[in-house]
Homo-oligomer: A and B are copies of this chain.
Amino acid sequence: MHILTVNLGDRSYPIYLGEGLLSRTGELLKKAGSGKKVGIVSNQTVADLYLDPVQESLTRSGFRVIPIFVPEGEEHKNLKSLSDIFDRLIGERFDRSSSLIALGGGVIGDLAGFAAATFLRGIPYIQIPTTLLAQVDASVGGKTGVNHQEGKNLIGAFYQPRLVLIDLEVLRTLPRTEFVAGLAEVIKYGIIEDPQLFALLEANLEDLLSLNRGLLEKAVAASCTIKARVVEKDEHEEDYRSVLNFGHTIGHALESLTGYDQFLHGEAVAIGMAQAATISRREGLCDDKSLERILHLIKGAGLPTDLPSGIRLEELANKMEVDKKSVGGKIKFVLCAGIGKTRFHWLSAEDIIARLASIQKKVESENR
Contact = CB atoms under 8 A, between A and B. Distances in A.
Interface in A84-121: 86-87, 90, 93, 95-97, 117-121
Interface stretch (A18-26, A142-150, A285-293): A142-150
A326 interface: yes
Contact of A118 (B151, B156, B325): B156
B95 A157 contact: no
A90 B121 contact: no
Contacts of A153: 121
A236 interface: yes
A176 interface: no
Nearest to A96: B327
Contact of A122 (B87, B95, B150, B157): B157
A244 to B, nearest CB: 14
B35 A148 contact: no
Interface of A: 35-36, 79, 82-83, 86-87, 90, 93, 95-97, 117-122, 143, 145, 148, 150-151, 153-158, 236-237, 321-322, 324-329
A23 to B, nearest CB: 27
Nearest to A150: B90
Contact of A155 (B93, B118, B158): B118
A237 B121 CA distance: 10
Given A119-B155, A122-B157, A148 B90 contact: yes
Nearest to A115: B155
Contacts of A327: 35, 95-97
A143 B324 CA distance: 24
A322 B156 contact: no
A325 B96 CA distance: 7
A117 B157 contact: yes
Contacts of A151: 90
B122 A90 contact: no
Nearest to A119: B155
B148 A121 contact: no
B118 A324 contact: no
B79 A158 contact: no
Contacts of A86: 148, 154-155
Given A118-B118, A121-B153, 18 more contacts: A86-B148, A86-B154, A86-B155, A90-B151, A93-B322, A95-B324, A95-B329, A96-B324, A97-B327, A117-B157, A118-B145, A120-B156, A120-B324, A121-B143, A121-B156, A121-B237, A121-B324, A157-B157
Contacts of A236: 121-122
A9 to B, nearest CB: 11
A233 to B, nearest CB: 15
